[in-house]
Amino acid sequence: MKPIAVLLAATALVAGAPSFAQITAVSITGGKVEGVRQDGLGIFKGIPFAAPPTGANRWRAPQPVAGWSGIKKADAFAPGCMQDTSFAAMMGAPTNVSEDCLYLNVWTPAKAAGEKLPVMVWIYGGGFAGGMTGIPTYDGANLAHKGVVLVSIAYRVGPFGFLAHPALSAESGQGSGNYGLEDQIAGLRWVRDNIARFGGDPANVTIFGESAGGISVSMLAASPLAKGLFAKAISESGGNFGSAKKDDEGGLNMPTLPGAEAQGARFFQTLGAADLKAARALPADAIQKQAGPMGTFWPNFDGYVLPGDQYRLYEEGRFNDTPILIGTNSDEGALFARPGVTAANFVADVRKGYGTKADAILAVYPHATDAEAVRSSKDLFRDTAFAWHTWVWARLQTSKGKGRAFVYYFDHRTPKSPDGSNHGSEIAYVFDNLGGPSGPPSDTDKRLAHQFSSYWVNFAKTGDPNGGGLPAWPAFTAANEQVMGLGDKTGPMPVPHLDKLKTLDGYYAWRRGDAAAGQ
């Protein structure tokens, strides 16, 4: 080969190299990180986005990440946030947990910074008591291969993430008990400031989550602290549109700040901690042990992260207006079914929790026999925890906002779930991570994974799930309250169980004190 030909060939190789290279080394807030190249992706695991919430930082808003020198390896998941490890074991994840847990992960298909790919940020569920980014089902590779930068962020859970206390509120001057939500917001600020270096577009960020993660998405949609940090929102089995819980009212979860502070004060007593300094000095394991596997800690209406009743905030136009994609599963209540339900105790529980609206609720949830009561107990949980919030959210978004709403209903029946899709069963399809303990995927599984993951990525790209030859998904509107059926049958359908949701709407309006709710 002549010298000029050699030179041209070498130049061509060098010029072509970036098209085959992945981003694996990035300078970010705090320093430089190095990930790994795998199957056409740059993958970074265990990137710190805040200082460890330990010592004096326990029960404080996330603090700025400390800088480091040299190159930090980002090739392994960080430990999950403190929690009972049974949740991780059940989900097939490593059971190492720590208070030092504010890390995130990135999967990017970009070849260079500046590609401005859509970004999807995953927020895990777990009842605000568990969950972690290292759960195998949450691996972001297959979504990234569809053309998005996938980020998963950790947040504190249980008493470490959601314990309020009068001393903590006095210390911050801004309430207390919503540290886990503040972690999520800190993670989104990191995305805004750093994701362009991974080839992502900070102006095109979609947050998505399931269960407590989906509820978190709903809360972020109403939090002024999250304004401008995301352009679209996806919530799987989530929503937070009930009023504050003050006693033991049916279908309500969110305490007021004073209620959460009183719970925190009682918890300090069970810990034997005389004051905040003593509580911060306790080992994390001792606090977790006292809280128990799931605990009872939940976000609260602190007036700062969460200004108040989200239904009211939406009515007043005080929310982060974006397109939304939201939905529920047909048999979500089965996961939470309690044993020993009979017709008699179902009626007693409804009368105890739902006050003057109990008769109306009992009229639409059959309970003539114990078998009917068992079914209705599951359905009432499904609707009060997930389905009513989803329906109301779609209605409020379309009536008060500019962003469109797309609503789904997942109903896939299998020998293991003959009554419909259980809580969380859509996640493997969304991430297109099939197989594992459940065995080889069927043709139906593969179809559903293609549909779910493609709809989700389309929405992240454009704010509309349609495209790519998928069955047409109509937007939810006031004039046409249709949802997209996904599962054994695919296509638009009326809102399921609408008679039940309308009855619950009257109940929640009564709890809010709306005059139109009647007496």
The answer to whether the beta carbons of residues 96 and 79 sit under 8 Å apart is yes
- Ordered DSSP codes for 263-324: HHHHHHHHHT-SSHHHHHHS-HHHHHHHH-SS-S----B-SSSS-S-HHHHHHTT-S----E
Sheet bearing 41-48, strands edge to edge: 36-38, 41-48, 103-108, 149-153, 117-123, 200-210, 232-236, 324-329, 405-411, 482-487, 491-494
In DSSP terms, which residues pair with 405 in a beta bridge? Answer: 324, 476
Q: CB under 8 Å to 462, separation ≥6 — which residues?
A: none
Q: Using H for helix, E for strand and C for coil, what is the string for 191-254?
A: HHHHHHHHCEEEEEEEEEEECHHHHHHHHHHHCHHHCCCCCEEEEECCCCCCCCECCCCCCCCC
Check if 332 is active-site.
yes
Select from 466, 440, 389, 233 the least CA-distant residue to 474. 466
Question: Which amino acid belongs to residue 179?
Answer: Y
* CA–CA dist 84, 130 (Å, integer): 7
Check if 115 is active-site.
no
The answer to whether the beta carbons of residues 427 and 137 sit under 8 Å apart is yes
Catalytic residue among 152, 169, 176, 211: 211
The answer to whether the beta carbons of residues 113 and 424 sit under 8 Å apart is no
Q: CB under 8 Å to 263, separation ≥6 — which residues?
A: 163, 164, 255, 296, 297
- In this structure, what are the phi and psi dihedrals at residue 509, rounded to the nearest 5 degrees? -60, -40
Please provide the size of the chain in residues: 519
Cβ neighbour number for residue 243 with a 10 Å cutoff: 22
Catalytic residue among 165, 367, 412, 423: 423
Cβ neighbour number for residue 275 with a 10 Å cutoff: 10
Check if 211 is active-site.
yes
Catalytic residue among 332, 376, 377, 426: 332
Q: Which residues are catalytic?
A: 211, 332, 423
